[in-house]
């Protein structure tokens, strides 16, 4: 109930921003607090382990969600026409907003995996890339119950939801120092504030790493230009004080 109230409040605020409402009827109304969603962040090795534990038909799906940040509902709607493996991109359909409809770049290994997946499991009549066991559109509830839970139990262990692969995608990007704006665009967030509010805690420690990189660059440049000698004047330029 609390989460639903928060969602309604955001929808009304957006309607005001778009000029569809003069004022939100929920402005000033105290909303119930929503408990923070528990998230799991897999490492690249854990993602590989999960992909290796699931049925071959769904291995590319696991890797696709982990390395594009796609929601499972978005991945289930991706068609062959949305893929451009030569340019290494996919046009994600988006399910929540205009910003969610986005084009995401793919790492080369994922392009290879998708090509192999489509060879082994050709798209259905509607052109869907990821299909269920019978080659029909992916039934998300059945997928979670029949394939997902079994693979999780055999690899990374519970708790682990398909949506946690989206969270893991963010963690992998942050760990390699990607800019929050890039992460926002890959996730399809309307505002970078959403990205930072959701994943800001993962950026802790990166500031120190950035300072270390500045140390390497700055010290090398100063040594080459001898600017550091300005901080330690030569002894001949120091005027001695008269004795008391």
For the cut 90, the answer to whether the pLDDT of residue 239 exceeds it is no
Which residues in the chain belong to E strands, given as ranges? 83-84, 89-92, 102-105
Report the pLDDT value the prediction gives residue 32, as an integer from 0 to 100: 60
Report the pLDDT value the prediction gives residue 42, as an integer from 0 to 100: 97
> Does the structural domain 44-203 have CATH classification 3.90.380.10?
no
Report d(CA 183, CA 198) in Å as an integer.
Answer: 12
Tokens of 175: 């760990």
Report the pLDDT value the prediction gives residue 234, as an integer from 0 to 100: 53
For the cut 70, the answer to whether the pLDDT of residue 18 exceeds it is no
Q: When comparing pLDDT for 238 and 193, which is higher? A: 193
For the cut 70, the answer to whether the pLDDT of residue 96 exceeds it is no
Q: pTM (2 decimals)?
A: 0.74
Report d(CA 53, CA 50) in Å as an integer.
Answer: 5
Condensed to tens digits (0 to 9), the pLDDT of residues 127-180 reads 999 999 888 999 999 999 999 999 999 999 999 999 999 999 999 999 988 999
For the cut 90, the answer to whether the pLDDT of residue 75 exceeds it is yes
Q: When comparing pLDDT for 29 and 104, which is higher? A: 104
- DSSP letters spanning 101-169: SEEEE--HHHHHHHHHHHHHS---TT-BSSB-TTSSBP-HHHIIIIIIHHHHHHTT-SS--THHHHHHH
Report the pLDDT value the prediction gives residue 177, as an integer from 0 to 100: 87
Report the pLDDT value the prediction gives residue 79, as an integer from 0 to 100: 96
Report the pLDDT value the prediction gives residue 3, as an integer from 0 to 100: 59
Q: What is the dihedral of CA 154, 156, 158, 161, to 10 degrees?
A: -110
For residues 1-15, give the mean pLDDT.
Answer: 63
For the cut 80, the answer to whether the pLDDT of residue 22 exceeds it is no
Q: To which residue do tokens 């500031």 refer?
A: 207
Q: What is the dihedral of CA 40, 41, 42, 44, to 10 degrees?
A: 170
Report the pLDDT value the prediction gives residue 169, as an integer from 0 to 100: 97
Q: What is the dihedral of CA 15, 18, 21, 22, to 10 degrees?
A: 130
For the cut 90, the answer to whether the pLDDT of residue 63 exceeds it is yes
Domain spans in the chain, listed from the N-terminal domain onward: 1-35, 44-203
- The pLDDT-based confidence of 13 (bands split at 50, 70, 90) is low
């Amino acid at each position: 109930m609390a989460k639903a109230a928060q969602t309604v409040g955001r929808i009304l605020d957006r309607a005001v921003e778009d000029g569809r409402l003069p004022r939100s009827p929920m402005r000033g109304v105290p909303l119930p607090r929503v408990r923070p969603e528990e998230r799991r962040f897999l490492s690249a090795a854990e993602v590989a382990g999960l992909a290796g534990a699931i049925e071959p038909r769904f291995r590319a799906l696991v890797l696709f969600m982990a390395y594009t940040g796609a929601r499972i509902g978005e991945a289930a709607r991706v068609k062959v026409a949305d893929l451009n493996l030569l340019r290494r991109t996919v046009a994600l359909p988006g399910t929540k907003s205009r910003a969610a409809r986005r084009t995401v770049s793919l790492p080369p290994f994922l392009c290879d995996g998708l090509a192999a997946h489509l060879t082994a499991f050709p798209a259905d009549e509607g052109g869907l890339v990821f299909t269920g066991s019978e080659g029909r559109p992916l039934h998300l509830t059945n997928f979670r119950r029949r394939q997902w839970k079994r693979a999780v139990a055999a690899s990374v262990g519970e708790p682990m939801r398909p949506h946690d692969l989206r969270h893991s995608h963010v963690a992998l990007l942050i760990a390699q120092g990607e800019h929050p704006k890039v992460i926002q665009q890959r996730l399809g967030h309307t505002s970078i504030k959403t990205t930072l509010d959701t994943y800001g805690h993962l950026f802790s420690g990166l500031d120190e790493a950035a300072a270390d990189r500045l140390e390497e660059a700055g010290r090398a440049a100063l040594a080459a230009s001898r600017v550091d000698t300005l901080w330690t004047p030569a002894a001949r330029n120091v005027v001695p004080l008269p004795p008391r």
